[in-house]
Homo-oligomer: A and B are copies of this chain.
Amino acid sequence: MADDKKLTTRDADFSAWYNEVVLRSELADYSPVKGCMVIRPNGYGIWERMQRQLDDMFKATGHQNAYFPLLIPESFLHKEAQHVEGFAPEAAVVTHGGGKKLEEPLIIRPTSETIIYTMFAKWVQSYRDLPILMNQWANVVRWEMRTRLFLRTTEFLWQEGHTAHVSEAEAEEEARKMLGVYRDFMEGWVAMPVVTGRKTDSERFAGALRTYSCEAMMQDNKALQAGTSHNLGQNFAKAFDLKFQAENGATEHAWNTSWGVSTRMVGGLVMTHGDDTGLRVPPLLAPIELVIVPIYRTPDEQTLVLEAAERIRKSLGDWDRREPARLRIHVDTREGMKPGAKYYEWELRGVPLRLEIGPRDLASNQGVLVRRDTREKRPVSLGILGEEVSDTLSRMQRDMLAAALDRREANSVRARIDYGAFKELMEGKGGFVYAGWCGDAACEAQIKDETKATIRCLPDEEFQSATKPTECLKCGRPSTVEALWARAY
C-alpha cells in the first residue's frame, strides 16, 4: 500500500502534493494509455456515492436515464457550426471497424448533443411529447494535450442531462434548476462551496445560448469549474430538425438544455479538503466512514480486542436502521503491522473517523475516537458509540463545508482593486476577485493574456457584492456587470 515517505506539503508544491495524494491514497493511477487514468476502488467508491446521490436528485426532479451510442458519425458534429469548432479539434476518430476502413469515420462522443437530439427529433411529434427530461451516465473522450488525474483526462466519466421543451422560458427554468441541483449537491455532499453564475460569451459551451457554471475555490486559490448547465436555445433543434406541433397547430423548433458534472469533482474534493497528511473525505461520500483499529500485544488480547471490534462493527452497522445507509465500517485486522502505521495509512486515505480500541479501553468499556478533519481525539463510552459516531459524522460534514467557505471568503477580494494590484495578486497568492467589467470581450481577452485570469462567471445575485463595482477592472470605462475573476484549472 502507501509508502512511508512524507507527502510534499501543499505550501511547497501544491501540484506535486495533489498528484501524491491521488496516487498514494489509491484514488487513481496512471495507465499505459496516454492521457487516460485508472480509477481505483478508493476513488471509484467516492464516485459511486456521488452518482447515487445525483441520480436520486435527478429522478426527484423528473428525469429518466437512457443510453445513447458511444460512436457518432463525424458529419453530425458539423451540423451545428459552433459545436464543430469547439469539439472537432479534440476528437478521437475511429476509421476502421471489423478489419475494414469505414465509409464515414466515427468519432468517440466528446458530448452527446448531436446524437441525442437526432433521436429526440425521431420521437417528438407534438407538444404532448414534451418536455423530454433525460440523463445519461457515460464515458466521453476529448483529446487533451496536458492531462491531470481527475481534472483533465482524455477519457472521463460523467453524466449529461438533455432536455427538450416547448418554450424558451421552460428551457431557461430547467437550466437554472439543474444548476441549483448541482450547487445543492456540491455544498451538501462534497462540502465544497460554489459560486454560481453565467459564463461570458467567450467561455460559453460550443453551441449554447447561455452557459451557467458552479465555480469552486481550491486550496491554491485557483478556481475549478465543477459543473455546467446550458440553455441551448433552438440551436441544436434547428441543426437536427427537432420540431413539434404546438398547441396552436403551428410547427416550432424545440428548446433544449444540457448539463453535466464529471469525475473531475473527485479532484475538486481532494483540492478542497486534503491536508498535508493526505485526503479528507466528507462523511457522506466516504466509502468507509469509520475504521476500527484494534490494539493488542498478546494473542489473548488480540482475541479479546478483535471480538469487540467485530461486535461493534455489527451493532453500529445496524445501529439506527438507516437503510440502506447503515454506517460503513471497516475493521483493520491486518497482522504484522503496528497501529501507528495503520493510523498513518487511514489518515492518508481520508477516512473520516477512527476508533482505537485496546484491552485497557475495553476494561473501562470505551474507545478512542479520532476525527480526521480536526484530528481531535477523545475517549467515548462504547455504550453510546452509535450516537457519538453518527453525530460526529454529521458535524464533520457541516464543519468541512464551513471551513471551505471560510477559506474561500478569506481569499476573495470584493474591494475596489486597481489593475496593477490585481495582476500582482494573480501572480502571487491568487484568489477570487469580484470586479467591474465593461462587457467588452477585448478587455476580457487582454486580462487573460496578461494575468492568466479569466472571468469564471458573472455571479448570480446572491454572490454579488453589496457595493456594486462602477468601472471596468481593465479599461476603467463604466462597468456593465460584476464579474468573478480568477485563474482556473
Contacts and interface: CB of A to CB of B under 8 A. Distances in A.
Interface in A117-158: 118-119, 122-123, 134, 138-139, 141, 143-145, 154-155, 157
A70 B71 CA distance: 12
Nearest to A139: B70
Contact of A94 (B47, B93, B123): B93
A417 B265 CA distance: 62
Contacts of A68: 31, 38
A134 B92 contact: no
Nearest to A65: B44
A381 to B, nearest CB: 30
A315 interface: no
Contact of A31 (B36, B39, B48, B115): B115
Contact of A33 (B37, B115, B154, B323): B115
A95 B143 CA distance: 12
Interface in A206-242: none
Contact of A29 (B29, B37, B122, B154): B122
B89 A99 contact: yes
B89 A96 contact: no
B89 A157 contact: no
A71 B92 CA distance: 10
Contact-size category for A: 35 or more
A466 to B, nearest CB: 44
A69 B119 contact: no
A73 B32 contact: yes
Contacts of A32: 73, 76, 115, 118
Nearest to A116: B38
Contact of A323 (B90, B138, B139, B324): B324
Given A93-B96, A94-B93, A97-B92, A33 B66 contact: no
Q: Is the interface of A mostly helix, strand, loop or mixed?
A: mixed
A472 interface: no
Contacts of A379: none
Interface string A96-113: 111100000110100000
Contacts of A157: 67
Contact of A38 (B40, B69, B154, B324): B69
Contacts of A122: 29
B106 A72 contact: no
Given A31-B119, A41-B64, A94 B97 contact: no
A439 interface: no
A335 B348 CA distance: 58
Contacts of A188: none
Contacts of A108: 70, 94, 108
Contacts of A98: 89-92, 143-145
Contacts of A31: 68-69, 115, 119
B36 A141 contact: no
Interface in A33-55: 33, 36-41, 44-45, 47-48
A161 to B, nearest CB: 13
Contacts of A96: 91-93, 95, 105
Given A36-B71, A37-B69, 6 more contacts: A33-B72, A38-B67, A44-B67, A67-B157, A71-B92, A93-B95
